[in-house]
Amino acid sequence: MWTKKNFPLISGYDKLGDNVEAKWWVSQTLDNWLDRAEPLPQFAHVLLRRKDVCDFVIRQFEYPMVRGVPVDAHYNNWFLGKECYAITLDFWQKASETLRTLLLSRQREGPLGLGMGDCEDTSIAFTSLFLENGWQAAECLGAVYQDGQLLGGHGWAIFQDDDGRWRLYESTLDDPPEYPIAYPLIDSSGNHWNVNGLVYTADCKFNHAEYYEWDDRTVSQYLSLAFKAKETRSKYEAIEKAWRKRVKPIKQGGILGKLRWQR
């Protein structure tokens, strides 16, 4: 059963240094992840339909990969290195930060430039864009399973379609499914959602105003997951199979990914 709770405080570099549980530079409550800073309103105001947001997030962001393997290191380097900080294990980009990667990429590369973010970054951007337009959505943190086997921690979103039905959104796909019918219908009162044999199991879900945890599951359990425990090749292979779509990490990883990326 979902239980409504106060938004938890997520520790940052200021408290933990470069630690797997340090997700931001400065500690803050989880609702700040769904921020409304620019350029989020700029993008939300031109994405006038739910379908537009669904297509936009999948099409406009690449996955952060280096030599065929996912990475999530972020650096703050000010004053020619006099103030330099690093979160090398698992940084959480806010919605505005993920959208900013797209804005800056377009300025540098032109209209074909793409932004960048992992499963959490892009699903948070999706949820924030939905909420900014007054549509119902929630971010989910948890894990995916197949045949009872844990494949990896994961972040995804759930949303209400134009008819008020809740559906699951997978932001790591390389090509958007047909809206709305190819986004799986779900019961938002539960926390286990089966997509062609792949089971999404949420530990928590939240929007701007409300935060929920499932039974004895907490966000702390998700926070403690090692980066490699979330970014497994087997997880993305299963997502491809379940959705019958390529996923960005495997497509971008190419031959190097097959050689270097552990299952």
Distances, alpha carbon 49 to alpha carbons 44, 131, 174, 185, in Å: 10, 12, 20, 19
Higher-confidence residue of 263 and 252: namely 252
Per-residue DSSP letter, 41: H
Q: What residue type is assigned to position 206 of the chain?
A: F
Left, alpha or beta for 181 (phi > 0: left; psi -120 to 50: alpha)?
A: alpha
Write down the pLDDT at residue 187.
98
Beta-strand relationship, 198-206 and 192-195: antiparallel
Write down the pLDDT at residue 233.
95
Write down the pLDDT at residue 259.
80
Least confident of 45-49, 84-88, 166-170, 253-257: 253-257
Cβ proximity of 94 and 33 under 8 Å: yes
Per-residue pLDDT averaged across 205-214, rounded? 98
Write down the pLDDT at residue 263.
64
Question: Can you say whether the dihedral through the CA atoms of 222, 227, 233, 234 is positive or negative?
Answer: negative
**Exposure of 214 in the CB half-sphere (CA atoms within 13 A):** 16
Q: What residue type is assigned to position 223 of the chain?
A: L
Question: Can you say whether the dihedral through the CA atoms of 188, 170, 21, 207 is positive or negative?
Answer: negative
Cβ proximity of 129 and 44 under 8 Å: yes
Q: Does the structure show a pLDDT above 90 at 80?
A: no
- How high is the mean pLDDT of the chain? 96
Predicted TM-score (pTM) of this structure: 0.97
pLDDT of 151-204, one tens digit each?
A: 999 999 999 999 999 999 999 999 999 999 999 999 999 999 999 999 999 999
Per-residue pLDDT averaged across 22-44, rounded? 97
Q: Which of 72, 31, 26 is nearest to 219 (CA)?
A: 31
Q: At what angle do helices 119-132 and 95-109 cross, to 10 degrees?
A: 100
Angle at 245 between CA 134 and CA 115, to 5 degrees: 55
What is the pLDDT confidence band of residue 248, given thresholds at 50, 70 and 90?
very high
Write down the pLDDT at residue 229.
93
pLDDT of 105-157, one tens digit each?
A: 999 999 999 999 999 999 999 999 999 999 999 999 999 999 999 999 999 99
